[in-house]
Amino acid sequence: MLALKEVGKTYPNGVHALERFSAEIPPGEIIAIIGGSGCGKSTLLRAIAGLDRASTGNVTLDNAVISSPHAKIGIIFQEPRLLPWLSVADNIGFGLTDLSAQARRERIAVALARVGLTDKAAAWPRELSGGQAQRVAIARALVPQPEVLLLDEPFSALDAFTRRDLQDHLLDLWADTRPTLVLVTHDVDEAVVLADRVLVMRPRPGRLFEQITINLARPRDRKSELFDTFKRRVLTALDRSLDRSVRDVTDKSSAGEAMWW
Amino acid sequence: MAMSVDLPALEQTAAPRAAPARWSRFARPALGLLVPVVCALGWELVVYLGYSNGRLVPPPSKVFQTIVELARSGELSRHILATLWRVGAGFALGVVTGTIMGAISGYWDFAKRLLDPTVQALRAIPSLAWVPLFVLWLGIFETSKVALIAVGVFFPIYLGVMGAILSVDRKIVEVGRVFRLSGPAMIRRILLPAVLPAYVVALRVGLGLGWMFVVAAELIGASEGLGYLLLDGQQLGKPAQILAAIVIFAILGKLTDWLIEVAAAPLLRWQDAFGARGGA
């Protein structure tokens, strides 16, 4: 169980990015975190990954506090971040240092086949298209078989067709070992296609605004009416989350004005 | 479990590797030789036809003849070895100190604040200004010459290594953190490969400066070496000997540079750069 307990983050420059975010995510659940820019989505994900430490509260995985990168937590970034000096195969095997060479090769071969890039094993990252590179990044993160996989807007740099293809592909890969997925996105469609639960955040400081459970059977039909209903629900929540924060700001400023007068 | 993976057509943009035609392997270097060869033949012809006596600018045949004579007498190899030794020793010294200092300054912010201003101030001194001091301190023999060459080599290596480490992509370093690399593993698996291209460039620049400084060192006071051949040719009015020494400098400089390039090429095949179109 991945548990976030009142996680807050204030950066050294004083920016209050995240405030008292709590959630419990059982194993195998797919969570999408969605919200306007500056609502602390990425901050939250980095705290779960152990890349940045939370200022308040804590993140625990099976009751162990996460304060630095953890073997059971993998992450996929917005960019593939492949190491340009390693072949595709070596990039995928980057995290498999404690295996024998033979076992490592086998695991890499399976992963390559799984993401459909067997013929690219010896290629350099620069020879891949954007979608292929992101597949390699997915394979690299999944090959050590993490219990939790974090995704920070992983498909946002791709064109719409490739994005859809990779969303389906991700679900397919997820079904192999069913890790917990925590996906940060700003794409409502993506959130509803992938997630069991959508957490809508509101900005300044980032806070949990609303949770929407998507109880739609998979594979989900993007054109179905029910799908649209869920999308609309998430969109409405998003709108409200932004509206309210806007009103907060105007309230404050008008209060300030009143005092000034 | 469904193993089928749909590859959409738009992703199948397998980069067609430009297979270099066989002839271009030879034609490309040959193209580079065209200009010097045409100039040399032209000058040879001018002197041959009597338009110039070729006394101050001897024709290539005369220069070649001088090289052959020097080689026959055993002089040439003695001078070349002396110069090569000096460049080799100075280069090695400059590379080792430059790499260590550059790595420390690049990796450790405190060291950069502490050392870099001094190094930059020293760099601003024209290196030949050190000569009198080095001669006083280290004598007029080999040590002062090697020290001068090492000073010339040091700065580009130091700057190259420091700059390369400072500009390693933070995002790539973060990948290392995600996979929980230890400090040494981070250096070996992320930092070293990342700085290698810039390091090779720094080595080549440093070597070029090494060749420049060996001439300066040998012009100042030497009884052997290619720089001595230059000076000797000037004092005795033998332009062919000067040109012979210059030609040999050019050949040795190019050859040693090429050695670095060839040695580094297998390590840099991954580079996605404009210059990587053809390969070395």
- What would the pLDDT profile of A138-188 be if each residue is shown by its tens digit? 889 888 888 999 999 988 888 888 888 888 888 888 888 899 999 999 888
pLDDT level of residue B8 (50, 70, 90 thresholds) = very low
- Contact list in A for residue B14 (CB cut-off 8 A) is 127
Token pair, residue A218, equals 């998979």
- What ipTM did this prediction achieve? 0.83
Whats the size of chain A, residue-wise?
261
- Cβ of B174 within 8 Å of Cβ of A169? The answer is no
pLDDT at residue B4 greater than cutoff 60: no
DSSP state of A64: E
Phi, psi (degrees; rounded to nearest 5) at B147: -65, -40
CATH code, domain carrying A167 = 3.40.50.300
Of A83, A92, A162, A177, which to mutate for an interface test with B (greatest number of B Cβ within 10 Å)? A83
Q: Which chain A residues are closer than 8 Å to B269 by Cβ?
A: 124
Across the interface, of A69, A71, A161, the residue whose CB is closest to B10 is A161
Residue B151 pLDDT level (bands cut at 50, 70, 90): very high
Q: For chain B, which residues make up each domain, given as ranges?
A: 71-271
Cα distances (Å, whole numbers) of residue A123 to A107, A179, B214, B275: 18, 29, 43, 19
Closest CA to A56 of A91, A100, A123, A10: A10
**What does the block give as tokens for B143?**
């040590």
For residue B14, name the pLDDT band (cuts at 50, 70, 90). very low
CA distance A35 to chain B (A): 24
Tokens of A21: 């975010």
In the predicted structure, residue B277 carries a pLDDT above the cut 60? no
Range of the domain at A206: 2-260
pLDDT for the residue B22: 62
The yes-or-no verdict on residue A85 having pLDDT over 80 is yes
CA distance A144 to A193: 25
Q: What is the pLDDT of residues A18-59, one digit of tens each?
A: 888 888 889 989 999 998 777 888 888 999 998 988 888 888
CATH class of B71-271: mainly alpha
- Interface size, chain A vs chain B, as Cβ–Cβ contacts under 8 Å: 71
Residue pLDDT, tens place only, A106-146: 989 988 988 888 898 889 999 888 888 988 998 898 888 88
Q: Within 13 Å of residue A2, how many CA atoms lie on the same side as its CB?
A: 26
Q: Which of B246, B201, B207 is nearest to B226 (CA)?
A: B246
Contact A131 B272 (CB under 8 A): no
> What does the DSSP assignment read for A188-225?
HHHHHHH-SEEEEEETTTBEEEEEEE---PSSP-TTSH
Give the C-alpha separation, B105 to A193, whole Å: 49
- What's the pLDDT tens digit per position in B65-109? 999 998 999 888 999 999 999 999 999 999 999 999 999 999 888
